[in-house]
A and B are shown apart, each in its own frame.
Chain A
Amino acid sequence: MLPTAALLAISVIPAGRALRTAALLAGLLAAQASGLSEPWHLIPFVPASLIQPSGARIGVFLAAVCAVLMLAGPALPCTPCESTMQEVFAPESVEWPGTVHLDLSEPVALLRVPPGTAGPVEIRIEAGGCRDSLPAGYVISGDHVALIPQGVTTFRATGGGLVEIHLSRRPNPFEHPVIHAGPAHADR
């Protein structure tokens, strides 16, 4: 996705119209290939690449970007990116010492519970960044689903196998939803 963004940015930056147009076409193709399904987020680049005076071009682009953000929010991936929490085996317990930060770019964390783990998995979860008090996400453990309230919570996931932590918020202007998951602990 980084090369796609670079091509799209180049379609606005240089002085030559030919180079901008070429970068725009390449950027549009790259965006299509990299899973940017909604066309709204590409709209600011089209007029901006065609306008010749530099000041007007940047002004139109920045205004169009703000308009798109207000109307459609930032672009979201079709398939949410997952991160896996690394476990460490101690003689009496299983520890997940790190902290995973979930935001809109990486909204899912997976925690593998080894078979035969004796106790429930205790996970420290901190959620926030929203302008209301509704849950920020949810935890799936076996057949159980628990909502993640904002603030600091310790979850006890009793089902084995895989514990999934999801950030469920959609993007809204002036909101920065985030979940910090971990550390976690379970007795063996």
Chain B
Amino acid sequence: MPDRPMRIADLLRRLPPGFAPRMAAAAFAFLFWRLAGMPMPGTLGRLLPLAWVLSALIGATPAGRFETASLTAFATAGLLWPMSPLLAPAAGVALAAGAIPSMLGRAARGAAGAAAALLPVVPLIMATVPFTGDEPFNAALARSLLLDGDMDISDDLPQVAPESWVTPELGSPRPGITHHQPLFALFLVPGLLLGVPGYRLLPLLFACGAAAATARLLSRSGRDTGPAGWAILFLPGLGCAGLAYPDWAAALLTVAGAASLEGRQPVRTCILAALALAVLKIRFAPAGLGLVAAAISSRGRRSLVRAALLTVALGILALAVDRLLPGGGFFWARYGNVEFLRTLVHGTAARAGDILLMPAWMLLDQEAGLLWRAPWLVAAVAGLPALARERGPSRALLLSGILYAVGIAVWTPMDWHSMPTPTGRLLIPLLPLAAVSASRAGMPRPLLAVSAVMAATSLALPMSRFNHLDGRDALLDMFSSCLPHDAALWLPSMARPDLLVLAAWAGLSAALIMLLSRRTALPGALLLAAAAAVLAARAVSLDGVYEAEDLGPERRIGCSLYPELPDPNLRLDWRRSPERLLMLSDPWDAVILTSPGGGVVEVSARLSAMSAGAPALLRMEYGGEAREFAVESRVLPVPDWIGDVRGGRESPRRVDPGVLSDTLVTAVFEGARPGPLVIRRGGDSGVLFLDRIEVSSWERR
């Protein structure tokens, strides 16, 4: 009995730093959610406080100002939440953000800490992130391999995702082959017993393993291991951590291969890692090649040349054997196997513009841009020059990263963004490099804070991580009723490119980075002012501009979206822009806009039409007057480079609006009495596909 007080005191001393305040905050959040009657008490109302409990258990640092600020923001938004549909989600985001500093603190405590850092949000990931994108395909392949002994997933996909389907055109080159390679699917076997959490179990361990291996690499070079936590706890890494995708496994193999340069047999280990990367997914092969090149270059120049020749010869042999024996079924690519080289040759030249603009969209696009989702990557870019001067594992990561990035740019210039799967998924194998590079540069606290808030957004609003290349970010979609109708047009979008908006945001971003660096404050402030002025002017000029597919139910009656499903793969081969269209096919379908007033009202509509017989008619009505226009569209030709690749073979496909030319129709109403502007289909035949509407008005002198 006498030593009991001592035991309690010992126990209290052994508690993690910040344990008591974080546990108290978790209890407060749990109770507050219920007192305020906030939505989703059974999921977010439990899982977010649970994240705080787990963050208290793994805490390595005392609770600080960021946690206090998060809790205050949560309580404020929660107190006022019925006032706006934005506030309850904001409260959730604030609460999720508060759990992140403890996780970052744990990640800074070595490899084991980095591996455990994700723990507090694992229940959130497992329970709230929809099982969608390529996850059901990978799961179906696991099922097919184990239960059927084949790779034909058409009879397995409905078992794991009843709403999914597969067609030879989209999913498989021919029956029995899927473009998902089999190795990764074997790691999803626990899912056959445990369901969705089982499919995600091993990918979760791969992500934690990659973070641990990166932390070990950092600690061996005498650096703080915190950046390994940034890789897994911030976007884009967090967006896929624990999901059934092979990208974190590739990151683990990459960092393991790079670390072997400090081991006994680096060349052999790197070749093994490279082979594993290629078998995991052919997309990762360039990353493996970089590892092998780095391992050999560490031995001298002569062996580098010899190894390069050997690698090329082995690659040619592997492709030839694969083409001749299983018919290109192993290293499968879109046009067979060896034939894909023709795609590279012709496609790269033809899509040079897309490739050149890719870095700008990768940074600034509202749906896929990393600059505002993951500003911590600015530090990673800043650290690259220092990294380039190093040897050993750092050089291996750098070479591997460069080759992988070039591979992505050349091989997937149109779908590097990985939509509709979480944004930046294809860049995850580069995250160990980003973490190591960021450790060589200073990280401004505001960038860290914004990165944490964006990561929290993807946790509290799991649907926000899924975009569909439709020109409007998922967050704007979710809250469109509370935002101006043209809010998406003020932000850069590769689906609806506006170079002035892109330039303004590039200027704003550069100015903010210059201001944060503090060495270039005056030029930064001047650039900020100029870019803000350009953006404001552009926003004013966009008044009266409506992207038809963004119109909400308050501005349209009927009018389905085309295609009905948002999957961007359905628009991958559209010869016009990939944005969705608003379909006017029924006599009752109508767009109703408010008139700007004025003596003269001019309405322009960009659209295409499909009709079997007589041309489709577009009817515009305003102030008791009506105008009708016959609209005809022609089928756009197949791009030359695709014809070259196909060798003149034209694959039959149905004509859809994505391959039709646009028509611009303009109506002027003069002296009509003010009223609503109605756009509908005239006549009773044909289908119209509206893209964009511009309404302007002026007084006649």
Q: Hey, which bits of chain A sit against chain B, CB under 8 A?
A: 1-2, 4-6, 8-9, 12-13, 34-36, 41, 44-45, 54, 58, 61-62, 65-66, 68-70, 73-77, 81, 83-89, 101, 103-106, 112, 114, 171-178
Q: Which of B75, B76, B78, B90 has the most CB of A within 10 A?
A: B76
The residues of A that contact B83 with a CB separation of less than 8 Å are 1, 34-36, 75-77, 105
Contact B76 A9 (CB under 8 A): yes
Contact A83 B84 (CB under 8 A): no
- A5 with B77, Cβ < 8 A, contacts A66-B35, A84-B553 known: yes
The residues of B that contact A36 with a CB separation of less than 8 Å are 80, 83
Could you tell me which residues of chain B, from 29 to 53, have a CB within 8 Å of some CB in chain A?
A: 31-32, 34-41
- A85 with B553, Cβ < 8 A, contacts A5-B77, A176-B38 known: yes
- Give which listed residue, A44, A54, A89, A104, contacts B79 with CB less than 8 A: A44
Contact B34 A84 (CB under 8 A): no
Contact A1 B80 (CB under 8 A): yes
Given contacts A2-B87, A75-B83, A174-B37, 9 further A-B contacts (CB under 8 A): A2-B90, A9-B77, A13-B72, A36-B83, A44-B79, A58-B71, A65-B76, A89-B585, A176-B37
Q: Which of A85, A106, A172 has the most CB of B within 10 A?
A: A106
Could you tell me which residues of chain B, from 61 to 106, have a CB within 8 Å of some CB in chain A?
A: 65, 68-69, 71-73, 75-88, 90
Interface presence of B558 (CB below 8 A): yes
**CB nearest to A69 among chain B residues:** B35
Q: Hey, which bits of chain B sit against chain A, CB under 8 A?
A: 28, 31-32, 34-41, 65, 68-69, 71-73, 75-88, 90, 481, 552-554, 556-558, 560, 585-586, 588-589
- A175 with B560, Cβ < 8 A, contacts A2-B86, A86-B553 known: no
The residues of B that contact A85 with a CB separation of less than 8 Å are 553
The residues of A that contact B553 with a CB separation of less than 8 Å are 84-87
**Distance of A12 Cα from B94 Cα, bound (Å):** 15
Chain A proximity of B13: nearest CB distance (Å): 21
Chain B proximity of A28: nearest CB distance (Å): 13
Cross-chain pairs A/B with CB under 8 angstroms, 21 sampled: A1-B80, A2-B84, A5-B77, A5-B80, A5-B90, A13-B72, A44-B79, A65-B32, A69-B79, A70-B35, A81-B85, A81-B481, A83-B481, A86-B553, A88-B558, A89-B585, A103-B39, A106-B85, A171-B82, A173-B37, A174-B35
Chain B proximity of A187: nearest CB distance (Å): 14
Contact B82 A105 (CB under 8 A): yes
**Distance of A42 Cα from B588 Cα, bound (Å):** 48
Contact A5 B68 (CB under 8 A): no
The residues of B that contact A83 with a CB separation of less than 8 Å are 481
The residues of B that contact A86 with a CB separation of less than 8 Å are 552-553, 556
- Give which listed residue, A12, A89, A106, contacts B558 with CB less than 8 A: A89
Chain A proximity of B361: nearest CB distance (Å): 28
Chain B proximity of A51: nearest CB distance (Å): 13
Contact B79 A68 (CB under 8 A): yes
**Distance of A1 Cα from B479 Cα, bound (Å):** 13
Contact A8 B82 (CB under 8 A): no
Contact B557 A112 (CB under 8 A): yes
**CB nearest to A111 among chain B residues:** B553
The residues of B that contact A81 with a CB separation of less than 8 Å are 84-85, 481
Contact B75 A1 (CB under 8 A): no
Contact B557 A87 (CB under 8 A): yes
- Give which listed residue, A65, A101, A104, contacts B37 with CB less than 8 A: A104
Contact B76 A74 (CB under 8 A): no
- Give which listed residue, A9, A41, A112, contacts B73 with CB less than 8 A: A9
- Give which listed residue, B28, B40, B558, B585, contacts A62 with CB less than 8 A: B28
The residues of A that contact B80 with a CB separation of less than 8 Å are 1, 4-5, 8, 36, 41, 74-75
- Give which listed residue, A65, A70, A106, A114, contacts B75 with CB less than 8 A: A65
